[in-house]
């Protein structure tokens, strides 16, 4: 009798593990959450397009190219508190936006420190409320116009659900700000699979979601002549996501650009725990607070703490040969940002060695 009950229990447990899940507002991140993830080498991802009911996605062979944290900060801890009051919270999603060199009134237009701001709309949706941008040194909030938020997920989210939503963001039209930034478009979100996902982090039940954003980013500069004062940048992107109940961020996410029906992946990242790579000792001194993007193709940005002193950066190939060497000099900022041009380095996997008088830190870098 006990053996029979044990067999029933095991079968029931197995069915529970592989049953469909429903994603709700409770499964989304909240202010103060931090989630570690690993960036995966794209060539190790394999087939991410196959999907369906009760599907098994085996990504156990993912190769980590480095680790970072997603931090969901209270809006008061960001430069854009004036525009986004609680309960909205932000996440720095990009260091800078590559745009053409556009001179405006004696200075060059730049967009840096990009934050995405979120809010749970009760239990019905998880919304992107807008963007925080530092444009040529001025912190500006790009907020939803007419309450037209970007609804990232509509709940409850189940297999075969499909939603299409629009969004419209714009900077304020203050006379002190000599330009306007707008972002408008629509998003299509479809849950096209459910089942089990396996990664180096573990195994879990998941819902597979594909979200596609079609938007136009526009910069308007009134001071320039008509016909030369508006610049539009299409921004068509797609993200394949595997959502689970407990992890707050996707168990795995493969994202990239969309050109017509052609999708080109440029990033893969998965939920992970702190890892030390085989044969590599990562010093707890943490000479680098952040190294991105990773993978990269032409530029590598290294963020180091204040007053840590000069640091030697050395990029070494798998044969141990140094292919790039640079000195990172300290300055008086809260943190120091160093940009390395690695466009002349061949594609491959490298080790970035950072060292100073106090120690050494080594990180795996992928150049693609």
Mean pLDDT in runs of 10 for the chain (368 residues)?
41 52 97 92 91 96 85 94 94 74 59 91 95 85 89 97 94 71 93 96 96 90 76 90 96 93 91 65 60 84 78 78 82 71 85 80 82
Q: Is residue 333 part of a domain?
A: yes
Q: Is residue 19 part of a domain?
A: no
CATH for 328: 2.60.40.3080
> How many Cβ atoms are within 10 Å of 154's Cβ, its own excluded?
17
Which range of residues forms the domain containing residue 360? 290-367
Alpha carbon distance 262, 247 (integer Å): 30
Q: Are 190 and 199 in contact (CB under 8 A)?
A: no
Q: Is residue 1 part of a domain?
A: no
- What's the pLDDT at 336? 75
Q: Is residue 92 part of a domain?
A: yes
Shared-domain flag, residues 313 and 252: no
Q: Is residue 67 part of a domain?
A: yes
Shared-domain flag, residues 219 and 360: no
- What's the pLDDT at 105? 54
Give how many domains the chain has, as a whole number. 2
Shared-domain flag, residues 125 and 211: yes
- What's the pLDDT at 187? 97
- What's the pLDDT at 320? 65
SS3 of the chain: helix, strand, coil, percent, to 5: 10, 55, 40
Name the 3-class secondary structure at 271: strand
Q: Are 250 and 152 in contact (CB under 8 A)?
A: no
Half-sphere CA count of 52, side-chain side, radius 13 A: 4
Q: Are 294 and 66 in contact (CB under 8 A)?
A: yes
> How many Cβ atoms are within 10 Å of 214's Cβ, its own excluded?
16
- What's the pLDDT at 247? 95
- What's the pLDDT at 12? 41
Alpha carbon distance 203, 198 (integer Å): 4
Shared-domain flag, residues 138 and 258: yes
Query: Which alpha helices (DSSP H) does the chain contain, by range?
Result: 2-17
Shared-domain flag, residues 306 and 165: no
Q: Are 141 and 114 in contact (CB under 8 A)?
A: no
Shared-domain flag, residues 97 and 221: yes
Shared-domain flag, residues 146 and 255: yes
Shared-domain flag, residues 166 and 242: yes
- What's the pLDDT at 8? 39
Which of 242, 271, 300 delimits the end of a domain?
A: 271
Shared-domain flag, residues 259 and 154: yes
- Strand 107-108 to strand 103-104: parallel, antiparallel, or no bridges (unpaired)? antiparallel
Q: How far is CA 210 from CA 193, 226, 239, 257, 280, in A?
A: 9, 40, 6, 13, 35
Q: Is residue 280 part of a domain?
A: no
Q: Which of 215, 219, 180, 181 is nearest to 101 (CA)?
A: 219
Shared-domain flag, residues 240 and 305: no
For residue 297, list its beta bridge partners: none
Instruction: Spell 246-257 as b/e; 16+ CB within 10 A means b.
Output: ebbbbbbbbbbe
Q: Is residue 306 part of a domain?
A: yes
Q: Are 52 and 20 in contact (CB under 8 A)?
A: no
Alpha carbon distance 323, 342 (integer Å): 10
Beta strands in 75-201 (DSSP E): 89-96, 103-104, 107-108, 111-121, 125-135, 138-144, 150-154, 162-170, 180-199
Alpha carbon distance 182, 218 (integer Å): 5
Which of 244, 271, 298 delimits the end of a domain?
A: 271
- Residue whose entry in the numeric block shows the structure tokens 């940009």: 339
Shared-domain flag, residues 36 and 161: yes
Q: Is residue 276 part of a domain?
A: no
Shared-domain flag, residues 244 and 331: no
């Amino acid at each position: 009798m006990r053996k029979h009950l044990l067999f029933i229990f095991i079968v029931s447990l197995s069915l529970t593990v592989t049953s469909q899940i429903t994603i709700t507002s409770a499964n989304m991140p909240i202010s103060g959450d931090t989630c570690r993830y690993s960036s995966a080498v794209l060539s190790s991802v394999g087939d991410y397009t196959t999907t369906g009911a009760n599907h098994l996605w085996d990504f156990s062979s993912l190769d980590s190219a480095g680790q970072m944290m997603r931090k969901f900060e209270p809006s008061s801890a960001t430069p854009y508190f004036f525009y986004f009051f609680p309960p909205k919270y932000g996440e720095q999603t990009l260091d800078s936006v590559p745009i053409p060199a556009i001179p405006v009134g004696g200075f060059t237009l730049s967009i840096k420190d990009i934050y995405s701001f979120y809010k749970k709309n009760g239990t019905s949706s998880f919304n992107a409320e807008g963007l925080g941008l530092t444009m040529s040194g001025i912190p500006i909030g790009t907020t939803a116009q007419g309450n037209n938020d970007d609804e990232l997920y509509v709940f409850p989210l189940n297999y075969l659900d499909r939603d299409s939503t629009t969004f419209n963001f714009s900077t304020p039209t203050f006379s002190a700000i000599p330009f306007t930034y707008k972002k408008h478009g629509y998003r299509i979100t479809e849950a096209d699979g459910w089942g089990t996902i396996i990664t180096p982090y573990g195994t879990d039940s998941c819902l597979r979601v594909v979200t596609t954003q079609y938007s136009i980013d526009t910069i308007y500069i009134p001071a320039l002549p008509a016909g030369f004062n508006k610049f539009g940048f299409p921004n068509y992107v797609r993200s394949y996501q595997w959502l689970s109940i407990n992890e707050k961020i996707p168990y795995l996410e493969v994202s990239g650009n969309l050109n017509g029906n052609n999708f080109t992946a440029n990033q893969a990242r998965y939920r992970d725990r702190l890892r030390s790579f085989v044969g590599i000792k990562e010093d707890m001194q943490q000479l680098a607070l952040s190294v991105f993007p990773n993978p990269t193709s032409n530029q590598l940005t290294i963020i180091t703490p204040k007053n840590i002193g000069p640091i030697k950066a050395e990029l070494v190939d798998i044969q141990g040969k140094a292919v790039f060497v640079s000195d990172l000099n300290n300055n008086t900022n809260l943190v120091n940002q160093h940009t390395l041009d690695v466009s002349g380095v061949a594609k491959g996997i490298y080790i970035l060695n950072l060292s100073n008088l106090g120690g050494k830190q080594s990180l795996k870098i992928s150049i693609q």
